Amino acid sequence: MTAQIIDGRSYAAALRAEVRERIAMLHGRTGLTPGLAVVLVGQDPASEVYVRAKGKQAVEAGMRSFEHRLPSDTRAENLLDLIHRLNDDRQVHGILVQLPLPAHLDTRAVINAISPVKDVDGFHISNVGMVGTGQDAIVPCTPLGCMMMLRQYHADFRGMTALVIGHSNIVGKPMARLLLNADCTVMVSHKHSTNIPDLARMADIVVVAAGVPGLVRAEWIKPGATVIDVGINRIERDGKPALVGDVDFENVRRVAGAITPVPGGVGPMTIACLLANTLSAFCHQNG
C-alpha cells in the first residue's frame, strides 16, 4: 500500500481563497476591514519568519496587519500596556503574541491579558476551557488545521482510535480535546510515555507533535492509518540543511492510508486557520 499524500498547500489555498472572498463581501456590505495585530518580542529567527508570513498572508486576504516588534528586554508592564491598547482598538479584531516569549516574561499572564474575543490563537484560558468542555470557542490554529484535513478523509470519527504524540498546550492537548469532542477514542502520549509504539499500533489516526525528527516509524503504524505530522525540524542531511517532520515519511507512507508531508502538510494550514479565526473574530465583534 502507498499512502495518499494529504496536500496541505492546496487545502490552505482553498481556505485562504474562501476567507478572501468573505472579507471582500463583508467589506462591500459594511465598509469594515478585519485587522490582525501580531506582537513579536525579541529576535528569535524562526519567530521572525512566522510573523512575517502571518502579516503578509493577512494583507493578501484583504485584512489590515499591524506588526509590533519589541526588544527582547521589554518589561512585562510595557507588553501588557500594548495588549490593553490593542484590546481597546476597534481596528484590531485579532491579537497574536508570538511564542516563545523571552524567559523573564510570564507567558500565561501575557496570553490571558488578551481579550478572549480577540485571542485568534485560542490560547486564552477561557477559550481553552470552552474547547475543553465542547463549547464553541476560538480553536488553536494548528489543531484546527489538522482537524480540517482529517475531516477530508473521515466523515465521522465515532468508533475510531487516535493517538496524539506530544502534550504541548499549543498542539497536543487541544488536538486531543478536539478529537475527543468528535467522539474519537483518544490516547495522548509524551516524552515520559514508555509504550508509544504499542499505542500507535492500535491507532486509526496518529497525530505527532513531538519535535523529534523521524520519531514515528513504519513498524508502529496500523496499515491504512491516517498520519498527521506536525513536526518542523531543521536538520542537516547529506551536508545540506533540510526540513523534516517527526515521521519517517519515506517508510511510513508505505504502510499508512494517508499522510501529511513536511513541508507542505500541516504548516500551510496553520496560517490559513489563523486568517479564518481572525475573520470569525471580526464577525463575532461586529454582530
Map grid coordinates 478585519 to a residue.
34
Question: Which residue's C-alpha cell is 498546550?
Answer: 169
> Does 141 engage in binding with ligand GUN (CB under 6 A)?
yes
| Residue 175 engages ligand GUN in binding (rule: CB under 6 A) | no
- 36 or 141: CB nearest ligand GUN: 141
Nearest C-alpha neighbor of 219 from the set 199, 202, 204, 197: 197
* CA-to-CA separations, 275 to 95, 178, 252, 266, 281, in angstroms, rounded: 11, 19, 31, 15, 10
Q: Shortest CA distance to 91 belongs to which of 64, 54, 113, 51?
A: 64
Our finding on whether 281 is near ligand GUN (CB under 6 A) is no
- d(CA 99, CA 104) in angstroms, rounded, equals 13
Which of the ranges 8-16, 96-104, 125-133, 192-200 carries the binding residues for ligand GUN, by CB under 6 A? Answer: 96-104
Tallying the residues shown for the chain, one arrives at 287
Residues in contact with ligand GUN, total (CB under 6 A)?
8
Is 54 an annotated catalytic residue? yes
Of 24, 57, 20, the C-alpha closest to 38 is 57
CB-based contact 95:120 (threshold 8 Å): yes
Q: Which range, of 91-99, 148-156, 199-207, 251-259, touches ligand GUN by CB under 6 A?
A: 91-99
* Nearer residue to ligand GUN within complex by CB, 186 or 232: 232
19 lines the binding site for ligand GUN (CB under 6 A): no
Residue (115 or 185) nearer to ligand GUN, CB: 115
The answer to whether 70 contacts ligand GUN (rule: CB under 6 A) is no
Is 168 labeled as ligand-binding? Answer: yes
Catalytic residue among 118, 119, 121, 229: 121
> Dihedral sign, CA of 1, 145, 105, 59?
positive
Identity of the residue, 110 or 196, whose beta carbon is nearer to ligand GUN in the bound complex: 110
CB 169 to ligand GUN: min, Å: 10
Whether 98 sits among the annotated catalytic residues: the reply is: yes
What is the distance between the alpha carbons of residues 235 and 69, in angstroms, rounded to a whole number?
Answer: 28
Q: What's the CA gap between 249 and 261, in Å, rounded?
A: 7
Select 84 or 237, whichever has its Cβ closest to ligand GUN. Answer: 84
Position 119 contacts ligand GUN (CB under 6 A) = no
Residue 235: burial class (beta carbons within 10 Å; 0-12, 13-18, 19+):
exposed
Q: List residues with catalytic annotation.
A: 54, 98, 121
Binding-site entries: 166-168, 232
Binding-site entries for NADP(+): 166-168, 232
Contact set with ligand GUN (CB under 6 A): 96-99, 121, 141-142, 170
